[in-house]
Amino acid sequence: MSGLAKFLEDEGLATTLIALVRKQAQDVGPPRALWVPFPLGRPFGVPGDAAFQTRVLKAALDLLERDSGPVLEDFPDDAPEDGIEDDGDGWVCPVSFPKPEAASEGERLDAVLAEIQELAPWYELSLGRRGRTTVGTSGLKPEAAARFIAHFTEDMATPSPLEGVAVADALRLASEDIKAYYFEAATAQPGAGSSKAVLLWFWFETQAALLIRALRDVCVTSEDPAVFDVGDFMLVDNLSDGPAPGAAPDQERT
C-alpha cells in the first residue's frame, strides 16, 4: 500500500494510510502514513471497539492536512485488550502439544504435520461455527504449505509451488495460511482467550512457529530483495516479553 500511495499521489490524489510495519513505511516513504503498534491484521485495534477505531481513523485522516511528505507519525496508544477476562488459569488451547524444541528440518516438518493433523477437528469445528475461513490464500493445503516452507529453509533454490507466483510471495502466503489455520483452530471454542493469549500460544508453544522462525532466519540471508523483505518484516509478530521455545534463557522474543 505504501508504494501504491506514491503512485496515486503522482496522479494528483491525496492519500493517507495505516502502517502495521514501521520499517516498511520508513523504507518506502509513502506521502502520509500513521504507524500503529497493533498485531498484524488489526490496523484499527480490537474488534467491536468503535470509539477506539474512530480515534485511529481520525488520526490517519488528519494527516491529509499535511501538504508535503513523506510523513510518518506514530499512534500514541496501544490497542485495548479484547475485553475477554481470564479465569485465573489463563487461556488453554483445546489441543496440548509437546514443548517445542529445536530440531532438524525433517524432524521439524514431521512435528508440524502432526500438529496440523491434531488441529484438524478443531479447524473444522471453527469453520462450521463461523461459516468462513481466512485459510487458503496460497491455494495450498496446510500440509503442503508446511512442506514448501520446510524445504525452502533447507534449500533456498526450492521453486515456488504456485504457478505464476514468485517464490517470495508464495512463502508469505504459505506462512499466512499456516498461521490462520492454527489461529482459527485454537479459537474454535466459544469464549476463547484474548488475541494476545492466542498469539503467545502460537509463537511460543508450537512447532509451526519454530518453522516460521527458521524461515525468517533463512530469508534474511537471501540476496533476493523480495525474499529478504519477507523475512525481515512479514513473518514474525513483534512479541517482546520472554524467551522463544528452544532458545537460550536470555534470548528475547522476536
Q: How many CB atoms lie within 10 A of CB 199?
A: 19
Letter string b/e over residues 57-71, b meaning 16 or more CB atoms within 10 A of that residue's CB = eebbeebeeeeebbb
Element (H, E) at 32: strand 32-35
User: Strands 71-74 and 32-35, how do they pair?
Assistant: parallel
Give domain limits for the chain.
2-74, 105-233
| Helix, coil or strand: residue 35 | strand
List per-residue pLDDT tens for the chain, 254 residues long: 677 887 788 888 889 999 888 887 888 888 999 999 887 667 888 777 899 999 999 999 999 998 777 899 999 988 777 654 444 345 566 677 777 776 666 788 999 999 999 999 999 999 998 899 999 999 999 999 999 999 999 999 999 999 999 999 999 999 999 999 999 998 887 655 567 778 888 988 899 999 999 999 999 999 999 999 999 888 886 553 344 444 443 333 33
Tell me 221's DSSP state: T
Q: Which residue has the cell 491525496?
A: 14
Q: Using CA of residue 187, residue 190, residue 195, residue 196, what is the dihedral sign?
A: negative
Three-state secondary-structure class, residue 119? helix
Cell of 183: 489461529
Gyration radius of the chain's alpha carbons: 19
8 Å CB contact between 237 and 225: no
Indicate the pTM of the whole model.
0.70
